[in-house]
Structure 1
Amino acid sequence: MPQTLDMGNRRFGRVNWLGLYTLALREVMRFVSVWTQTLLAPLVTAALFLLIFSIAIGPNRGEVLGVSFTAFIAPGILMMTVIQNAFANTSSSIVISKVQGNIVDTLMPPLSAGELVIGYLAGGLARGLAVALAIGLGILLVLGIPIAHPLWALVFVILGSTLMGAVGLVAGVFANKFDQMAAITNFIVTPLAFLSGTFYSVAALPPVIYEITHVNPVFYLIDGVRFGVLGVSDSSPWLGLAVCSVTTVAVSLVAWAMFRSGYRLKA
């Protein structure tokens, strides 16, 4: 009897390029079709953060790491917004599909677990890059801050979008309801973004908290973008590159394992 080829698991190097492209395009069009919520709203929020902190603290804060307080927090706000949007793009896509009961439409086509992960991550990466571009142009044109190391900034934006997109996949697969997803966002993602040096230099932290902060990969994302934009940072960008790369691969593998096993995806 002829053997049936399991297109979901036995690809042996074969890639379903059409299916992968279609999934990636769907994920990109999801946020583009509601760009006022997914692109314009984050830009306005970032501008408000920058304006409020600059008015309330900027005049009395002085320089941080040799640059003005406004210039110091601008890259942090950029990366904070990027990671929040990359996470939201992948997590919301999975959770909405599960709640509406149409996740099967994504799982049934001949797409491997790796292709599913890449397709979803493409949407998170595209949204993160779009948000970064919009805020980066604002930093350049409105604040007049030139980008010191564009390549470093781009690398960390890509890493941040991919890492938090993968975290969003894991969270989306794990969560079965919107309130579970909201809890993950409010109690994990938001604190990580706010307590990772976005609005302050970690050099001012107490020793214990300073050491804990250096275990957090989000700190290296924010610090890396700060180095790319301003040329100053609290840690080596090479260390941040290594930590973020390893963490991104690890979380992506967890997401891949979840899709491959059908954990909380198959009835």
Structure 2
Amino acid sequence: MGVRRFGRVNWLGLWTLIEREVMRFVAVWTQTLLAPLVTAGLFVAIFTLAIGPRRGDVMGVDFTTFIAPGILMMMVIQNAFANSSSSIMVSKVQGNIVDTLMPPLSSGELVIGYLAGAVARGLFVALGVGAGFLLVLGIGIAHPLWALTFVLLGSAFLGALGVIAGIFARKFDQMAAITNFVITPLSFLSGTFYSVEALPDAMWTVTHVNPVFYLIDGVRYGILGVSDSSPWLGLWICMASTAAVSLVCWWLFRRGTRLKA
């Protein structure tokens, strides 16, 4: 009996891959969903106690309120990256990546499946951290659709980067190096804890070519209604960046780079 296909998409196979990717992080929710909430709370507590009372307002809002959206987005992108990268990395190390490559799934369906898992985890993290900020800090959402759009784009963008990292990394220490020296600096040095208008000219320029800056700035606009740049500009840059890295993922799956060797 052949695989049921509707049109040119293997819907059954695609849904199975998506379900697997989602259940991976749901099964260990204390590590994947609860831990980011605790980490976000610690960031807010530390910065509020150490800097908040002396920092004053930033862009018309108090410091704690200003950094909250940045911390939320930082948790989202780090967890979206971890979801796709760890999935591929673990499969390669355990030798069962063939179970994903052998079914009749196209390269595009593989990309969609992995990104769907990353987006789902990012969205769950955003909802949990956002609910915590609402209860503790009383922060609402000024523009819900903008906030949701940038959370989804951020999850997809970092999920695609996680796929690329998972494909190229051969050992867990290589993956740790990518996380520590690429993903963490990108999330920390993108306006998470400060307004980029306070940066020197050189750093201001470097920051504005970093797509993660627009993700954080876009979520800040969606939640607080203030931003360092135009949300429309950030939207187009994030969409283009996500499309570009997703295309790279598709190409890598199509060639079987470091997967079929």
- TM-score tier by shorter-chain length is over 0.9
> 1:73 touches 1:199 (CA, 8 Å); kept in 2?
yes
Question: Is 1:230 aligned to residue 224 of structure 2?
Answer: yes
Query: Quick one: distance in 1 between partners of 2:57 and 2:154?
Result: 27
TM-superposed CA distance for 1:115, in Å, is 0.2
TM-score by length of 2: 0.97
SS in 2 for 1:179: helix
Aligned residue number for residue 130 of structure 2: 136
Q: Out of 51, 54, 63, which is 1:57 matched to?
A: 51
User: Where has structure 1 moved over 3 Å in runs of 4 or more?
Assistant: none
Question: Is 1:69 aligned to residue 94 of structure 2?
Answer: no
Query: Quick one: distance in 1 between partners of 2:171 and 2:259?
Result: 13
Letter in 2 for 1:180: Q
Query: Quick one: distance in 1 between partners of 2:251 and 2:170?
Result: 18
Aligned residue number for residue 28 of structure 2: 34
Aligned residue number for residue 211 of structure 2: 217
Q: How many residues align?
A: 259
Query: Quick one: distance in 2 between partners of 1:239 and 1:85?
Result: 25
Aligned residue number for residue 98 of structure 2: 104
Question: Is 1:199 aligned to residue 193 of structure 2?
Answer: yes
RMSD over aligned Cα, in angstroms? 1.4
Q: Out of 85, 89, 102, which is 1:91 matched to?
A: 85
TM-superposed CA distance for 1:141, in Å, is 1.6
Q: Residues 59-99 of structure 1, C-alpha deviation per residue, up to 9 Å, x if partnerless?
A: 00000000000000000000000000000000000000001
Using the aligned pairs only, state the percent identity. Answer: 76
Q: Out of 16, 20, 32, which is 1:22 matched to?
A: 16
Query: Quick one: distance in 1 between partners of 2:252 and 2:29?
Result: 30
SS in 2 for 1:142: helix
Q: Residues 157-214 of structure 1, C-alpha deviation per residue, up to 9 Å, x if partnerless?
A: 0000000000000110011110110110000000000000000000000001101100
TM-score by length of 1: 0.95
SS in 2 for 1:225: helix
Aligned residue number for residue 114 of structure 2: 120
Aligned residue number for residue 78 of structure 1: 72
SS in 2 for 1:200: coil
Query: Quick one: distance in 1 between partners of 2:247 and 2:7?
Result: 17
Q: Residues 238-257 of structure 1, C-alpha deviation per residue, up to 9 Å, x if partnerless?
A: 00000000000000000000
Query: Quick one: distance in 1 between partners of 2:69 and 2:183?
Result: 18
Letter in 2 for 1:114: G
Where does the alignment leave 5 or more consecutive residues of structure 2 unmatched? Answer: none
Letter in 2 for 1:192: L
Aligned residue number for residue 3 of structure 1: none
Change (3 A) 1:131 1:12: closer
Letter in 1 for 2:50: A
Query: Quick one: distance in 1 between partners of 2:87 and 2:190?
Result: 26
Query: Quick one: distance in 2 between partners of 1:228 and 1:67?
Result: 14
TM-superposed CA distance for 1:18, in Å, is 0.3
> 1:140 touches 1:147 (CA, 8 Å); kept in 2?
no
